[in-house]
């Protein structure tokens, strides 16, 4: 896997279709600015509104453009175990380096169901698996004991923790093996999760500030906690604005302001409210992002 900042990369659209030219430019921007991994077809990539065929081309494009320089990790999760299996097999066949498995949403399940679901999907692939805990979206929380159970499955190697619950993350760290990785799923908690024994972040903000997010992570890993905290605080307001509306609405507005993509999302997501967009752009100007 990776240590440091991986980007949960957006999927750019142009008149309803994926804008592959813009997508390739985004990947180049990430690699040039030291991002440690590309995470495609996650929440930020609007995976839930893309067809199987679109997924195939997006994954292939990401792998080809990355050219082995950094790992490409594909979000393959679903609330249907069978669909998650099909997505996972697709990603492995196309040459992905790992998969990200979100908890089943809407129909939900018990902790027993989570273990059976994750284990069933993990067993159809040789790729390393990152569990994805985001209860604010799915309505299901992965309990620390469940993460422990899953850490015993040989290719389940990490968890992306977006619960925001620092006490829970500490408990996960206490339970799991030392080589099991914990990634922050919240950009405003990177330094706190590093302090809990974490290994990095799967970041929305890295779409716009990849070098800065990786510098923050590297500073902490090098023992310069003061510098890591300085960066975390410097970009705190920017990060807050990126989540003042549902992700990826604000980050797409930010990338549009930077000239990388059209400000286009797929329904039911809609463009950022103008009052919020102005605040976001103003903060980006203050920080020198644009």
Active site residue 183: no
Q: Which of 89, 154, 160, 236 is an active site residue?
A: 160
Q: Which of 17, 105, 132, 181 is an active site residue?
A: 132
Active site residue 132: yes
Question: How far, CA to CA in Å, does 84 sit from each of 48, 88, 91, 99, 101?
Answer: 12, 6, 10, 10, 8
Known catalytic residues?
A: 132, 160
């Amino acid at each position: 896997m990776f240590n440091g900042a991986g980007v949960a990369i957006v999927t750019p659209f142009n008149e309803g279709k994926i804008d592959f030219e813009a997508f390739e430019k985004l990947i180049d921007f990430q690699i040039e600015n030291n991002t440690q991994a590309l995470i495609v077809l996650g929440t930020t990539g609007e995976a839930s509104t893309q067809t199987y065929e679109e997924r195939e081309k997006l994954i292939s494009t990401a792998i080809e453009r990355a050219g082995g320089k950094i790992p490409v990790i594909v979000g393959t999760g679903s609330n249907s175990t069978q669909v998650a299996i099909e997505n996972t097999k697709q990603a492995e066949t196309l040459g992905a380096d790992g998969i990200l498995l979100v908890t089943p949403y809407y129909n939900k399940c018990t902790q027993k169901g989570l273990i059976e679901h994750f284990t069933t999907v993990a067993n159809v692939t040789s790729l390393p698996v990152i569990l994805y805990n985001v209860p604010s979206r799915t309505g299901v929380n992965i309990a620390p004991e469940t993460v422990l159970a899953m850490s015993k499955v040989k290719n389940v190697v990490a968890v992306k923790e977006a619960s925001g619950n620092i006490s829970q993350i500490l408990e996960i760290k206490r339970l799991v093996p030392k080589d099991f990785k914990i990634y922050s799923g919240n950009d405003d908690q990177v330094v706190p999760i590093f302090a809990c024994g974490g290994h990095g972040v799967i970041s929305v903000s890295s779409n716009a500030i990849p070098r800065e997010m990786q510098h923050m992570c590297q500073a902490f890993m090098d023992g310069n906690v003061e510098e890591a905290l300085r960066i975390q605080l410097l970009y705190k307001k920017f990060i807050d604005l990126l989540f003042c509306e549902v992700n990826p609405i604000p980050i797409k507005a930010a990338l549009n302001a930077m000239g990388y993509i059209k400000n286009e999302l797929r329904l039911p997501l809609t463009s950022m409210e103008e009052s919020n967009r102005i605040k976001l752009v103003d903060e980006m100007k203050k920080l020198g992002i644009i």
